[in-house]
Chain A
Amino acid sequence: EDQVTQSPEALRLQEGESSSLNCSYTVSGLRGLFWYRQDPGKGPEFLFTLYSAGEEKEKERLKATLTKKESFLHITAPKPEDSATYLCAVPAYSGAGSYQLTFGKGTKLSVIP
């Protein structure tokens, strides 16, 4: 069964303390991996799409990387406004010729001033 696992479930960082979030996946034939940010009470906000191993994308303090088995979201010198839940998702085959986006449970990041 295709799965997406994110770790850790929660992460507390001091402002300026860099770290990484992990998203591991088991799908047959990766067709892309998506990272979203979700603030409390709001919908997921798109951050990055990665399509092939070795690909990297950056946006401000965030950098996403992809290998054949996992993706990392690196956060450099985080600020309190980076506090949110970060979700990753991959398209996965759901049977009868259909696909769907399978989401991980997310990592809740808290950045303390």
Chain B
Amino acid sequence: NAGVTQTPKFRVLKTGQSMTLLCAQDMNHEYMYWYRQDPGMGLRLIHYSVGEGTTAKGEVPDGYNVSRLKKQNFLLGLESAAPSQTSVYFCASSRWGVTFTDTQYFGPGTRLTVL
């Protein structure tokens, strides 16, 4: 099993450009999550999904959109990138997690730089 995979691993954007980050999991998990990690701050939840076709906002959702068309995939989109979105983005998944009490398994991350 590959677990949670993310593509791409690195990306540089110019301000105003758009891009999509892809997350895939092969553990048949219901819940999937997108986090960002910035220096000096803990991981912060951007959006999450409780199942195929569903999405919900996390702590820092502004400037991002997500889609979960297939159970195994969770996409994170930036419509108009800003320098403040320079960060490392992590995807995670869990079997269930109504109250976020199930173990989340993380992908390797995508390092995004917005110039």
Q: Which residues of A contact B (CB under 8 A)?
A: 4, 31-32, 34, 36, 41-46, 49, 87, 89, 91, 94, 98-106
Are A104 and B42 in touch, CB under 8 angstroms?
A: yes
B 85-115 contacts with A by CB, 8 A: 90, 92, 98-101, 103-109
Q: Which residues of B contact A89 (CB under 8 A)?
A: 42-43
Q: Which residues of B contact A99 (CB under 8 A)?
A: 98-100
Are A31 and B101 in touch, CB under 8 angstroms?
A: yes
The answer, among A36, A87, A100, for a CB contact under 8 Å with B100, is: A100
Are A32 and B90 in touch, CB under 8 angstroms?
A: no
Are B109 and A43 in touch, CB under 8 angstroms?
A: yes
Residue of A nearest to B108 (CB): A43
Interface contact tally, CB-CB below 8 A: 58
Q: Give the number of residues in B that approach A within 8 Å (Cβ atoms).
A: 24
- The reply to whether the CB of B12 lies closer than 8 angstroms to some CB of chain A is no
A-B CB contact pairs (8 Å), 23 listed: A31-B101, A34-B104, A36-B106, A42-B108, A43-B106, A46-B104, A46-B105, A46-B106, A87-B43, A89-B42, A91-B99, A91-B100, A94-B58, A99-B98, A99-B100, A100-B45, A100-B58, A100-B59, A100-B100, A101-B100, A103-B42, A103-B44, A106-B42
The binding surface of chain A is classed by DSSP as: strand
- The reply to whether the CB of B69 lies closer than 8 angstroms to some CB of chain A is no
The answer, among B42, B45, B106, for a CB contact under 8 Å with A105, is: B42
Q: Which residues of A contact B42 (CB under 8 A)?
A: 4, 87, 89, 102-106
Are A101 and B106 in touch, CB under 8 angstroms?
A: no
Instruction: Say whether, besides A101-B45, A103-B43, A46 and B90 are in contact (CB < 8 Å).
Output: no
Q: Which residues of A contact B107 (CB under 8 A)?
A: 43
9 additional A-B pairs beyond A46-B104, A100-B48, A105-B40, beta carbons within 8 Å, are A34-B104, A41-B109, A42-B108, A43-B90, A43-B92, A100-B100, A101-B100, A103-B43, A103-B44
Residue interface bits B27-49, CB-to-A below 8 A is 1, else 0: 00000000000001111110010
